[in-house]
Amino acid sequence: MVTKESEKFISSTILEGMTSISALLNSSENNDRKIIKVLYNESKIKKHFREFNYLKKMSLLLGFEIETVSEDIIEQNTIGNTHGGVIAICTERTIKELQYSDIVPNGVYFMLEGIEDPYNFGYSLRSLYASGVDGIILSPRNWMSAAGVVSRASAGASELLPMYICEPLKAIEMFKNKGYSVYCADKPNSVSIYETELKKPLFVLIGGEKRGNSKPVLDAADKIISIDYGRDFPAALSAASASTVIAFEIMRQNK
């Protein structure tokens, strides 16, 4: 039986809800995703006429279609339940290969590995965007196939954050050449983030909770960092949780 929960892994470029759609409309030149058509629940127009008029204005400006439809049509095209009666059918997003010119001076970048669930990926992006991270580095794979789920889970941050593709060791080399310190989040031979100077410019690699970072990546890092626990606990935090804690400690130290 196919359920809305199981459908989260099905490829989709439908953005659900105004938060995700607005984020795309306000995204930078780093995001080439385009809206093809917006479907709007006709029964919601009277209550949300300003929102509907805004979308009409943007449709004329950007050249996408806006169509009023029944609630049933909206439900047939959505996975979540918080779309508010508006969805956008979009193109794919190209995530380009990292170039030296993409790396800003004195910034903070994260590389995410080992996040398989699109919700967790989205939650991580939401936290990283809120903490002020300048960009996300991803290993080569189709991270945005479930774009609608990722965007909703990230509250639109996935459409706003600059994202680039690069192999981990190559990324480490590029950031070091740009004067960045490179830290890996892992447990063996690590130093607590609360006893480490996390000053910009900084490149942080977050491995998966099962596999962690590879030995060549750990060997190439300037330092291995870890998060203190409040009690003895043998398991690792999820990659999404670890990235959140580390990102906000970086923000605190660089205020």
Are the beta carbons of 204 and 183 closer than 8 angstroms?
A: yes
pLDDT in tens, 32-74: 999 999 999 999 999 999 999 999 999 999 999 999 999 899 9
CATH code of 6-90, in short, is 3.30.1330
Compute the average pLDDT of residues 162-167: 94
pLDDT in tens, 188-228: 889 999 999 999 999 999 986 566 678 899 999 999 999 99
| Strand blocks (E) in the chain | 14-16, 35-41, 65-69, 86-90, 108-112, 135-138, 163-165, 181-185, 191-192, 202-206, 223-226
CATH fold for domain 100-253: Alpha/beta knot (3.40.1280)
Question: Mean pLDDT over all residues of the chain?
Answer: 89
pLDDT in tens, 165-189: 999 999 999 999 999 999 999 888 8
Domain with CATH 3.30.1330 in the chain: 6-90
Whether the predicted pLDDT of 6 surpasses 70: no
Orientation angle between helical segments 49-62 and 18-25, nearest 10 degrees: 30
Domain with CATH 3.40.1280.10 in the chain: 100-253
Are the beta carbons of 218 and 166 closer than 8 angstroms?
A: no
